[in-house]
Structure 1
Amino acid sequence: MKTHRLLLAAVLALQLVACATAPAPSTSSTLHGDAAHPTQTQNWVDTKLYFGLGPADQSEHGISEAQWRAFLDKEVTPRFPDGLSVIDVYGQWQGKQESTPERLHSKLLVIYYPDTPDNRSKIEAIRAAWKQRTGDQSVLRVTQPADVSF
């Protein structure tokens, strides 16, 4: 009986080890095979751009939703047609000549792309176009490496 219990315990232990070390089921991306939808990426980045639309408590002043979409359609989408995200955000900004922060209704634009000189140039062109269109001093840019898969 003791041998039977030891044998049963050994079998159970082997089964647990087999479960723990078994390879995970093979999964693959549903979109892949081209540069816009790679299964694996190298040298991609995540860039976030913050656009101030105007005073948070005075929606009648500043950039309207229609004006924002027109900018997106003209300046952003042609440069990054493969995809992007836009998020409504609330923020604060204190300009160089200001004594207190200004509360702003803002848009956060998130774009993932291969880190190339051409794509970096496109990002800078978007920032420049916004500043020219609105007179804003700045479009905050945050870029970091990204591990992307589709």
Structure 2
Amino acid sequence: MRSIRISTPAAGLLAAAALLLTFGGPAPQSSLGAGTVSAASAEADTAQTGSPYVSTHLYFGTGRHDGKPPITDEEFDKFIADVVTPRFPSGLTLQEGRGQWRDKDGDINRERSYELTVMYPVREARARNADIEYIRRLYCTMWELESVGREDVRSQVDF
């Protein structure tokens, strides 16, 4: 591509036009197809849909220390049934994964892991926090583990 130097007041406008022609500009809403909404209207719709909730994600590892065997699927399922479900009977989501983390000795551990997601209304956050911390402490105590990761995300939820 050839470079052209223009030294008129319109140089900035021409440069912007050249960039738009080269890389494309924003598409008009009408050309995006049916069902497409703008960011502003999506934000407005989201603000009006659902109720304020907290989505808590817990990250459970299954590897153990000192040569002990990993936590089995059956052991983990029993923990969910006996400990988690009674505290969150309305529902939960469980995903299996592979994770890694650095332990207190600086070693990198790779292990099968689970991500558990529970959602609850913001107004229940204080009471649910006690349940979540109980779950985390018990899992670590039962299996002699260092930690269960936790992430809390505020969201708008509708069922």
Measured against the shorter chain, the TM-score band is 0.5 to 0.7
Give percent identity, aligned residues only. Answer: 34
1:121-150 CA distances to partner (integer Å, 9 max, x unpaired)? Answer: 111111011011111111000001011001
TM-score (norm 1): 0.67
Unaligned stretches of 5+ residues in structure 2: 1-29, 35-48
User: Distance between the aligned counterparts of 1:139 and 1:106, measured in 2?
Assistant: 10
Q: Distance in 1 between matches of 2:109 and 2:50?
A: 42
Amino acid at match of 2:127: D
CA RMSD of aligned residues (A): 2.1
CA distance in 1, matches of 2:153, 2:50: 17
Q: Answer yes or no: is the 8 Å Cα contact 1:46–1:144 preserved in 2.
A: yes
- In 1, the alpha carbon distance for the partners of 2:54 and 2:153 equals 5
Q: Secondary structure at the match of 2:86?
A: coil
- 1:38-92, Cα deviation, whole Å (9 max, x unpaired): x7312x111100000127xxxx921101100110011100000000011001010
- 1:126, 1:76 → 2: CA distance? 7
Aligned counterpart in structure 1 of residue 75 of structure 2, from 56, 67, 70:
67
Distance 1:41 1:122 in 2: 21
- Aligned residue pairs total 109
Q: What is the letter of the counterpart of residue 154 of structure 2?
A: P
Aligned to 1:102: 109
Whole-angstrom CA distance in 2 between matches of 1:109 and 1:139 = 11
Gap regions ≥5 residues in structure 1: 1-15, 21-38
Q: Distance in 1 between matches of 2:57 and 2:73?
A: 19
Runs of 4+ in 1 over 3 A off after TM superposition: none
Normalising by structure 2, what TM-score?
A: 0.63
